Amino acid sequence: MSNRRLLATAAIILGLALIAVAIVYWAEPAKSLPSFFPGHESGSNHHHTKHGIASFLVGLACLVFAWFNTGQQKRPTQT
């Protein structure tokens, strides 16, 4: 597997994972978040919407990176 493909695959996996994390942040209150998530707080009903937005944006950026990396590579034109 070439380096480009490997990077793109990693970006797709990371991007999808981050978007899933964003959905968890939006759906679950702080008390129900997995304990390793930043913002987890037992007994708190607060929804970490901003954490979700941040995670979603980085996930989206990873997917865009993968989109560019899996496109056809343009060769510089010879003059």
Partner 1 sequence: MHPISYFQGAMLGLLQGVSELFPVSSLGHSVILPRLVGWHIHQNDKFFITFLVATHLATALVLLGFFRRDWWRILKGLGRSLRDRGIDPADADAKLGWLLVVGTIPAGILGLLLESSLRSVFASAQSASIFLFCNGLLLFGAERLRRRAPQTADDDDTRIARQVGWRDSALVGTAQALALVPGFSRSGATMAGGLLVGLSNKDAARFAFLLATPIIGAAAVLKLPELAGPDGRGVRGPALVGALCAAVTAYLAVRFLMRFFETRTLVPFAVYCLAAGAACAIYFATT
Q: Is the dihedral of CA 40, 45, 48, 52 positive or negative?
A: positive
Q: How far is CA 39 from the centre of its chain?
A: 17
Q: How far is the CB of 68 from partner 1 (least distance, A)?
A: 6
Pick between residue 10 and residue 70 the one whose CB is nearest to partner 1.
70
Distance CA 43, CA 72 (A): 51
Residues of this chain that interact with partner 1 (CB under 8 A) are 50-51, 53-54, 57-58, 61, 64, 67-68, 70-74
Pick between residue 45 and residue 72 the one whose CB is nearest to partner 1.
72
